[in-house]
Amino acid sequence: MSYQALYRKYRPKNFDEVLGQEAITQVLRNQIRTRTVGHAYLFSGIRGTGKTSMAKIMAKAVNCLDPRDGNPCNQCEVCRSVNQENFMDVMEIDAASNNGVDNIRELREHSKYTPSKGKYKVYIIDEVQMLSTGAFNALLKTLEEPSEHVLFILATTEPQKIPVTILSRCQRFDFKRVSPEAMAGGLERILKDLDITYDAQILPLIAHKSEGAMRDALSLLEKIVGFQGSHLALDVTLKTLGYVAHRDLLVIFEGIVSDNLTTALETLDSLIKEGIPVAQLMEQFLEFIRNAMLVKVFKGASDIIELPREQQMAIYETLQFIELKDYARMTSLIHEGMGNLKYAANPRINLELMMISLSLIFKQEEAGQLPEVGETGPREKVPREIAKAPSRPIASQAPPQEATQALKGNWERVLKRLSDENKMIYAFLIEGEFQAIKDNEIAIVYESGYDFHLENLMATANKAKVEEIVAEIFGEPYQIKGIMKGRPPEKKDLSETVREFLGEEYQDILDIK
């Protein structure tokens, strides 16, 4: 016999073998046992949860010559024919490729004839949401006046696309995701049957990766077995699935919170060179932070965290000094970084900048740099000394020293707001030096080499965000200007220079062109 994929070879043969859908199997078995089978069923749910398998089992059970407590016997001529997919009274139709009204009209004509061997003609229509409007109307007529020997089983991943007139004529069953425990148990039985040994952490890893879809889990298992053979090792499995090892995530996190960015960035570099996409690194790091946060909440291991208990306790013992507010800030910053990723010309730069921004959270708290909300005075400690004024004056008029100090006090509150609400803009802004030029204008002066920060700060959306917060805290609007030290000021237009010299009394003359 030719090779069969694992998901076909181990397709459930009776209701007891269907994983994670106990409530549905109980109802269907009771109906078959008591001979109260309906004429139309709708199975809905995500991919790989057993909808088509359940439909085939039911097709066998209603036609089985020797049913056993609602289950098909899988030994009679009918059951064997259905398993071999050559039973004439069971038809499986793919609505994605047979979605026209003519296909459904042909089905209607075919359904008028009595079954050739079984008790029921069973029509399994997969991906039924793909039918056209005309096809749905033709199907509706059949469902309104069904023959007593016909059974329709509709399967879909998008029940919201099916007309309510169809839904109201079907018994609907919503298939839930298969739990990690049930999935791991099913995979364990399959590996035992295949005589394959494995490291203990592999099955929970596959269950988590498949997101509740058993077919996906079997496809992943087949890929891993094809790569490794008779023994499945954890480290090789991680690379096969594109996963980052837990220890690497822990090293990156420890580097961020302990101001050891060198180690964190070197670990990131090695992972990127191994071929792990930046987006996947961000997703897995976000999941690591989520797990660490839940460990903090539960003060130890919990069943709702999809990690082995020893890993949970290692996180708790290593990172218990991290506060929940820090996790919340990190989560917000990573979400923002993931949102900006699709617009990035070089995703790696975004990832590295995000890591640096994450480390700033802990640097500031260590140095006591973040003032409380409502504080208007200057910080006790500042990240660096305010640089001396540039050698070339920025503007001809400067505000008084008292006014400048007041502006600087409020500026600390602006930085605090940005550190809470938008870490990316904060990272761009913190590298510049605050300086007031004149009324309603604030300059952010950058040292040479910080062109990237200046350009991103002056981007329309970022600049608008800063000016919005400034207006709220200062009580009046201020314009933000970014200036690079050592760069000559832009030349003014001749008419603007003359206007400044003559004054506003000659405004009408200057407006004449």
If you average pLDDT over every residue of the chain, what do you get? 82
pLDDT above 90: percentage of residues in the chain: 32
Task: Provide the token pair at 178.
Answer: 């298969």
Where does the pLDDT of residue 402 fall: very low under 50, low under 70, confident under 90, or very high at 90 and above?
low
The model's pLDDT over 254-272, given as tens digits with 9 standing for 90+, comes to: 888 887 889 999 999 999 9
Burial of 156 (0-12, 13-18, 19+ CB in 10 A): buried
Strands (E), 45-149: 90-94, 121-126
Which of the four pLDDT bands, split at 50, 70 and 90, describes residue 460? confident
What is the rounded CA–CA span in Å between residue 99 and residue 105?
11
Which of 163, 160, 146 is closest to 107 using CA atoms?
146
The SS3 call for residue 301 is coil
DSSP reduced 3-state for 260: coil
Cα–Cα distances (Å) from 120 to 60, 125, 172, 495, in that order, read 10, 15, 20, 91
Tell me what pLDDT residue 343 has: 80
| Confidence band for 501, pLDDT divided at 50, 70 and 90 | very low
What amino acid is encoded at 123 in this protein?
Y
Q: Is the pLDDT of residue 513 over 80?
A: no
The mean pLDDT value for 138-144 works out to 88
- Average pLDDT estimate for 447-454: 77
Q: Average pLDDT, stretch 123-151?
A: 90
Q: What is the mean pLDDT of residues 26-53?
A: 93
Asked if residues 457 and 428 have their Cβ atoms less than 8 Å apart, the reply is yes
The owner of tokens 């043969």 is: 13
Dihedrals phi, psi of 497, to nearest 5 degrees: -65, -45
Domain range summary for the chain, segments of one domain joined by +: 6-174, 180-241, 246-361, 422-510
**Contact partners, residue 94, CB within 8 Å, separation at least 6:** 126, 127
- The confidence score (pLDDT) of residue 394 equals 42
Rounded mean pLDDT of 134-157? Answer: 90
Residue 370: CA atoms inside 13 Å, Cβ hemisphere, count? Answer: 15
Condensed to tens digits (0 to 9), the pLDDT of residues 352-385 reads 989 998 888 887 655 444 434 334 333 343 343 4
| CATH fold of the domain at 6-174 | Rossmann fold (3.40.50)
Backbone φ and ψ for 49, nearest 5 degrees, come out as -105, 0
| 176 or 406, greater pLDDT | 176
Q: How confident is the model at residue 412 (pLDDT cuts 50, 70, 90)?
A: confident
Q: Which of 91-100, 286-295, 346-355, 420-429 is predicted least confidently?
A: 420-429
Point out which residues pair with 51 in neighbouring strands. Answer: none
Greater confidence (166 vs 501) lies with 166
Q: How many C-beta atoms lie closer than 10 Å to residue 88's C-beta? A: 11
Candidates 1.10.260, 3.30.300, 1.20.1690, 2.20.28; CATH matching 422-510 = 3.30.300
Q: What confidence score (pLDDT) does residue 48 get?
A: 92
Closest C-alpha among 108, 120, 110, 105 to residue 67: 120
55 closest CA partner among 96, 98, 97, 85: 85
Confidence of residue 503 (pLDDT cuts 50, 70, 90): low
User: What b/e readout covers 346-379, taking b as 16+ CB neighbours within 10 angstroms?
Assistant: ebeebbbbbbebbbbbbebeeeebbbeeeeeeeb
How confident is the model at residue 510, as a pLDDT? 47
Q: Are strands 433-438 and 441-446 parallel, antiparallel or unpaired?
A: antiparallel
The tens digit of pLDDT for each residue in 461-499 reads 888 888 888 888 888 888 888 888 765 555 455 455 445
SS3 of residue 300 by DSSP = coil
Neighbours of 297 (CB within 10 A): 12
Average pLDDT over residues 212-230: 91
Beta carbons of 129 and 158 less than 8 angstroms apart? yes
**Around 4, how many Cα atoms within 13 Å sit in the side-chain half-sphere?**
8
Distance CA 223, CA 367 (A): 50
Q: pLDDT per residue over 199-215, tens digit each?
A: 888 898 898 888 889 99
- C-alpha span between 412 and 97 (Å, rounded): 63
180-241 CATH, one of 3.30.70.120, 1.10.8.60, 3.20.20.80, 3.40.309.10: 1.10.8.60
Which backbone phi and psi does 48 adopt, to 5 degrees? 70, 20
pTM to 2 decimal places: 0.64
Examine the pLDDT at 42 and tell me if it is beyond 80: yes
C-alpha closest to that of 53 among 9, 114, 95:
9
Q: Which pair of structure tokens corresponds to residue 170?
A: 């079907």
Say whether pLDDT at 405 is over 70: no
- pLDDT at position 381 is 39
Query: Strand ranges (DSSP E) for 252-404?
Result: none
- CA-to-CA distance for 460 and 481, rounded, in angstroms? 12
Task: Name, in order, each residue with C-beta under 8 angstroms of 237's C-beta and a sequence gap of 6 or more.
Answer: 199, 202, 205, 224, 228, 243
pLDDT at 259 (0 to 100): 79
Of 161 and 242, the one with more pLDDT: 161
Please give the Cα distance from 246 to 272 (Å, whole number).
16
* β-bridge partners, 172: 42
Closest CA to 335 of 276, 282, 261, 288: 282
Of 127-141, 160-174, 270-284, 361-375, least confident by mean pLDDT is: 361-375
For 156-178, what is the mean pLDDT? Answer: 94
- Give the pLDDT mean for 24-47: 94
- For the segment 243-255, the average pLDDT, to the nearest whole number, is 88
What is the per-residue pLDDT across 49-81, written as a single tens digit (0 to 9) for each? 999 999 999 999 999 999 989 999 999 999 999
3-state secondary structure 403-435: HHHHHHHHHHHHHHHHHHHCHHHHHHHHCCEEE
pLDDT of residue 146: 83
Backbone dihedral angles phi then psi of residue 92, each to the nearest 5 degrees:
-105, 125
Give Cβ neighbours of residue 180 (< 8 Å, ≥ 6 apart).
204, 207, 208, 306
| Beta strand 40-44 pairing with 150-156 | parallel
Quote the Cα angle for 146-148-152, to 5°: 55
Nearest to 378 by CA among 414, 353, 348, 349: 414
Question: Quick one: tokens of 381?
Answer: 């400690």
The CATH code of the domain at 246-361 is 1.20.272.10
Q: If 0-12 CB within 10 Å is exposed, 13-18 middle and 19+ buried, where does residue 171 land?
A: middle
Band (pLDDT 50/70/90 cuts) for residue 505 is: low
How open is the CA angle 466-468-474, to the nearest 5 degrees?
A: 95
